[in-house]
Amino acid sequence: EVIHANTFPHFTQSVIIEYDEEVAWTHLKISIRDCRALRSIIGGQRRRSRDDGEEEQQRIGRKPFFGLGGIHNNNTDDNNDNSNYCSENDPIMGEVDVEVGELLKSDNGKEQKFELSTGGTLFVFITESIQGTDRGVLDCQIRGLDVKNIESGLLGLGAVDPYFVISKKENDTKKGTTCYYDVYRSEHVHDIINPFWKPFRIDLERLCNNDVHKQLKITVWDQQDRGQDRWLGEKDTTVAEMMRHVAKRGNADRESALRVEARSEKGDKIDLRALLVILKADVISANRKMMANEGSVVICSGRFDTVGVMIENDESSR
């Protein structure tokens, strides 16, 4: 996964590995690299998108694009592979050695902090990847309706470039904390309040630890070319709820849509920021590769001061 022009990225890509408690050594090396190849591509797409009309924007919304400062998604095998953009010649920004067994037995909780000799901090989250009995791949597509533009802009005519992020809830009993970890990020669509985001597929093990009732959160953001992206609002949900709310009256079914809201600081006011129309949310039967992951471990990289990540084991396979 590559995140462009962002010094505090939250990676959505998780790594699933087989872990055996009886094996004393399960070692990983995590290398953070600066991916150079995407810079000119992203710049060109951004310039073109500013001149396109609404029809072209809708077309872009159905093709690979870049959000959150420019992101190429790589959440599942069915999404776009960005490996062609990465190279062994990309400069290494830092490396850490991770011993899976030590992290699982640590009293410091599920999320561990690693300082890099070159500067920056990498947070690695690790947990059992299977916590339920629901297996398969979620085949999903979401449309936004009435995305609220909170950007004033010149003469009050600002633009909204919306995208959404799906995160899953994790309770860290050792630390007594609750966190959400990003598992999927859509592309952003330029200057539109009713975006069609492209369909995506993600296996339930990565999305919800094979539990369709596990707490998820869908957050809608407004992508910014400079500075931090704007948070618009969020909706707590589950895979089961998304399946129940699939649109029944076409792609503008407001009655079945999920409400994305923002609360005031005091919590006494709720502002509707967007509606999410679930165009489809089907669970496809698991394949052999997914069925083989029982007993494995998910490692999710969280926050870091970098633009790319590469993970290797001792045999240097990637």
Q: What is the pLDDT of residues 150-193, one digit of tens each?
A: 876 555 566 799 999 999 998 877 777 888 999 999 999 999 99
What local confidence, expressed as pLDDT, does residue 293 receive? Answer: 42
Cα–Cα distance, 21 to 42 (Å, whole number): 44
140's tokens: 């999903």
What is the band of 109 on the pLDDT scale with cuts at 50, 70, 90?
low
What sign does the CA torsion over 50, 54, 56, 58 have? positive
249-268 pLDDT tens trace: 999 999 999 999 998 877 77
Q: What is the mean pLDDT of residues 106-114?
A: 77
Q: Among the listed ranges 30-39, 223-232, 291-300, 307-316, which one has the minimum average pLDDT value?
A: 307-316
Among 314, 122, 317, 135, which Cα is nearest to 239's?
A: 135
**pTM for this structure?**
0.74
At 24, the pLDDT band (50, 70, 90 cuts) reads low
pLDDT band of 224, cuts 50, 70, 90:
confident
Instruction: Give the pLDDT of residue 68.
Output: 34
Average pLDDT on 58-62 reads 38
33 confidence band (pLDDT: 50, 70, 90):
confident
In terms of phi and psi (left: phi > 0; alpha: psi -120 to 50; beta: otherwise), the region of 267 is: left
pLDDT at 225: 80
Q: What's the rounded Cα separation, in Å, for the pair 251 and 247?
A: 7
Is residue 206 over pLDDT 70? yes
pLDDT score for 44: 54
With a CB cutoff of 8 Å and minimum separation 6, the contacts of 133 are 210, 211
What pLDDT shows up at residue 5? 73
Q: What is the mean pLDDT of residues 212-236?
A: 93
Q: Is the pLDDT of residue 57 over 70?
A: no
| 246 compared with 30, residue with greater pLDDT | 246
